[in-house]
Chains A and B, each alone.
Chain A
């Protein structure tokens, strides 16, 4: 992914680590601000990466998030190792969630995670192998948007 014009970084996310949940999305937001991405795109990217990060924390053992920024787009890829998703269509429905009661009590698991990522991104792909893990690909276009 890393090429002449691009900048890539990788972040490791641990499952069940609620204490540092949100760190990756904050770091990504700061990087995008330094580069000078439009604030409205940063906001969408912050929401999408946060939801993606939380999915790993809540449902997977571990995950790797790679961010690549080129003058054309932001490309975020997330691969996790975990239980995977049995029925992707169902998981993409708003309100559907397999969160435990404890997670819900903490305000998570409203069944908005994946739909929210899709809603906020320009391109969104998901694939999953039950019992192995899930992969997300999230893209934000930069070329049409005005620069900050």
Chain B
């Protein structure tokens, strides 16, 4: 039954079926049944929209609790570069990483450097690639799932280079196990995540391999403790800390960061599911063949807009932007050595271990003939509906309701607009039964008979 793992759970005690999540869901994966929201697993792409709109916090992202750390002999936190944007401008990554170490992790790893390596690897891949364009970034796990589900024909255009957090974790486990004479499984690596989607990409990677990470902790969970932990960190000079920032990697926190730092000419960045859908529709039609590379994120403005972040997304977006400008101005290039990256690239170091496969939605029926018939039926039902998408039936739109009826998930009577008709039919029936009865014959003529009255 649970073919797909999801990082979202609905707390049925808190949910009172207010339909906000159902309306916000970009893939129409939520239905309200018996006043409670339910998720259709195969349609969900873990974007987290529902979490943000729920007025009762009834939709819970399943990230890991802090206690998980105790299961390991040595623990390393790998914060998403989006964490660097969550605090004031004078707080640079060095200070944040120091603060994390005070929270109980044995070490904190700067992912921006790995992101920088992957940026170079993407550049290499773009140079060699000869297939259909544009190529699509793998950075956002929700986008990867969106392509698997809704745009299966674009799957070969996703760059098959592993995401930085997986590469980093693989490397950390290798190094630390040698350093401390531990087994790799005794080293726990935790991603500090801006969104719940990263959690599923750890529990169930899209390419069906195994993740090198052991868990993910929500940025919003760690925010408070980290804020106070940073107060007691040693002072680091601003300039020195600035000098440690990898300009290529820091951009991964925001939409457009990869395009901008790699200075790709024919590339574009898009964020927010509705906008991504527009762009992918154009890609599918062959309209964007002249674009080399697309960076797409499900959250507005990229990872800084993740549903588990704390800071206003425009403020954090701007912080990254200004940081990149400062680094450019100061000509600070604490970046990976491109020759080293090219060498590793040649050794296939950066490539994904598994292969991405499409995950198209189940058709209306496995049998083509029946599926066509059901689609026709759906159209007939839809035409009879009021088309106001009120949602009272529990489906987000009249069109999805028609589909739910055809697939047997809902009954036509669930549409409240069928009620007056049903009442009329019922009363007609009652009257005709009464009129036929020999015992009791009321003086109520049925409507039709009434008209024919002599």
Contact = CB atoms under 8 A, between A and B. Distances in A.
A31 B375 contact: yes
Interface string A31-59: 10111100110110011001000000000
A42 B153 CA distance: 8
B372 A6 contact: yes
Given A71-B368, A116-B286, A33 B375 contact: no
Contact of B286 (A7, A42, A47, A69): A47
B358 interface: yes
A83 interface: no
Interface residues of B, number: 27
Interface in B285-342: 285-287
A75 to B, nearest CB: 12
B375 A7 contact: yes
B68 interface: no
A68 to B, nearest CB: 10
Contacts of A34: 361, 363-364, 371, 375, 378, 403
A71 B362 CA distance: 17
Given A47-B285, A50-B285, A69-B372, A35 B379 contact: no
B284 A39 contact: no
Interface stretch (A21-29, A86-94, A96-104, A129-137): A21-29
B371 A35 contact: yes
Contact of A35 (B281, B286, B372): B372
A45 to B, nearest CB: 11
A5 B372 contact: yes
B364 A35 contact: yes
A26 B372 contact: no
A25 B282 CA distance: 10
Contacts of A42: 153
Contacts of A116: 286
A33 B360 contact: yes
A33 B368 contact: no
A64 interface: no
B368 A39 contact: no
B284 A46 contact: yes
Nearest to A8: B376
A31 B378 CA distance: 11
A85 interface: no
Contact of A40 (B153, B362, B364): B153
B272 interface: no
B90 interface: no
A126 interface: no
B420 interface: no
Nearest to B362: A36
Nearest to A26: B281
B181 interface: no
Interface string B214-231: 000000000000000000
B368 A142 contact: yes
Contacts of B286: 47, 50, 116
A99 B327 CA distance: 46
A25 B281 CA distance: 9
B371 A22 contact: no
B285 A35 contact: no
A70 interface: yes
Contacts of A22: 281-282, 285
Nearest to B376: A7
Contacts of B454: none
Interface string A121-145: 0000000000000000000001000
B425 interface: no
Interface in B355-377: 358, 360-366, 368-369, 371-373, 375-376
A50 B375 contact: no
Nearest to B281: A26
Contact of A70 (B150, B362, B372, B378): B372
Interface in B261-285: 281-282, 284-285
A52 to B, nearest CB: 11
Q: For B364, B366, B368, B375, which residue has the most chain A Cβ atoms within 10 angstroms?
A: B368
B157 to A, nearest CB: 11
Given A7-B379, A34-B371, A107-B287, 5 more contacts: A7-B373, A39-B360, A42-B153, A46-B284, A148-B152
